[in-house]
Amino acid sequence: YSNGCSTTRLSMVVPCMSGKKSHSPSCSSTFLYEKFIEFALEETKCYTPLLPSPLQTKFSTLLAMDGNTELEMSSFESTKLRLWRNLSIKGKKNEGGVQVMDFAVFPKPEFDLPIFCANFFSVADINIVVLDLNPLYNVINEKGYKEKYYIGLIHLAAKYAELLPWGGKLTAESLQFFSPIVIWTKFSSCPEKYDALFSAFKDYYKAFLELMHQAEEETDVSRIRRNRAAQHKYLTWRTEKDPGHGMLSRLIGESMAKEVISGFLFNGVLDLGSATFNEYFPEYKCEDGSISVKRSMIGKSYEKRPWNANGEFIGDNRDNT
């Protein structure tokens, strides 16, 4: 499918992203992740027409309070996708400014497909990466879901295990949203690492599109409801505890950050379900009923990759150092 792609691409108007980037002076940015998101757009269009999301009118570009850093938001939807969205944060690369790609694709609740998640944060010499097909259901206890989507993709984790090794301890609660093929890594900037990351990104995104292509629409209302609730739980988690929130608030102010988080990044948190954070994650509940401001109750865990080469979870002992 993806091979004959370039000849069958649909034309779309994507400001500053469409067409031949290298010939367009207005697009000559040095944004690290430009080609990643361009690839994702073009590759998606090989499978399905992308329609502009209603979010486009409200969320497009913002200039951060530092007067230098730009935020660019794009959003689409399609037959099987509720929301395809990306937030690029473009600081001045040559001055070590922040560069972020927060790209996620949320399927419609009629599908139990994973959520595509590419979360790359780079500043100065530091790069923090999460790349995954985040599972909608528990892949440690629910064998069926793991087998349905991940067993066929385990080779991807093995392919990048050396080039993009496990990034060390992380917020333990995050593990429940990660799959056996997750790439969680940190590295200092160098071309080889960015090349490996681009290659991994292409592989993972193509795998996601292939799953999307094969997915059949669920018609059982209780299953659709269950998918919707699972996605809402995910959105509720990230709306409340995503590590990027602090920096986003510093860039655009707290109230604008809140709007971007619940209206754009994790859109659906306000309308896909009504359960509260405390109901999904009671361990965060304080005595007075409020949500603990701590990002993690357990703390940082998983020094080593808690999945083996067969995709089995081996991290029960959280401090498996």
Contact present, 170 and 184 (Cβ < 8 Å): yes
Angle between helices 191-214 and 34-47 (to 10 degrees): 20
Q: Rule CB under 6 A: say whether 69 interacts with ligand BLA.
A: no
Residue from 244, 268, 311, 315 binding ligand BLA (CB under 6 A): 244
Nearer to ligand BLA, 177 or 205 (CB): 177
Nearer to ligand BLA, 148 or 300 (CB): 300
**Using CA atoms, how far apart are residues 120 and 197, in angstroms rounded to an integer?**
10
Q: Rule CB under 6 A: say whether 102 interacts with ligand BLA.
A: yes
Structural tokens at position 95 = 């001055």
DSSP state of 117: E
Residue from 183, 209, 248, 252 binding ligand BLA (CB under 6 A): 248
Shortest approach of ligand BLA to residue 288 CB, angstroms? 25
Q: Rule CB under 6 A: say whether 100 interacts with ligand BLA.
A: yes
Residue closest to ligand BLA (Cβ): 244
The residue assigned the tokens 């070590």 is: 96
Residue from 121, 187, 277, 307 binding ligand BLA (CB under 6 A): 121
Please provide the DSSP assignment of 2-26 as one string: -TTHHHHPPP---TTTSS-GGG-GG
**Using CA atoms, how far apart are residues 299 and 16, in angstroms rounded to an integer?**
41
Residue from 14, 140, 161, 247 binding ligand BLA (CB under 6 A): 247
Q: Which residues pair with 89 in a beta bridge?
A: 71, 100
Q: Are strands 170-171 and 126-134 parallel, antiparallel or unpaired?
A: unpaired
Q: Rule CB under 6 A: say whether 136 interacts with ligand BLA.
A: no
Site for ligand BLA in 294-313 (CB under 6 A): 300
Structural tokens at position 154 = 């385990």
Contact range with ligand BLA by CB under 6 A, out of 9-17, 19-27, 209-217, 244-252? 244-252
Q: Rule CB under 6 A: say whether 140 interacts with ligand BLA.
A: no
Site for ligand BLA in 202-241 (CB under 6 A): 238
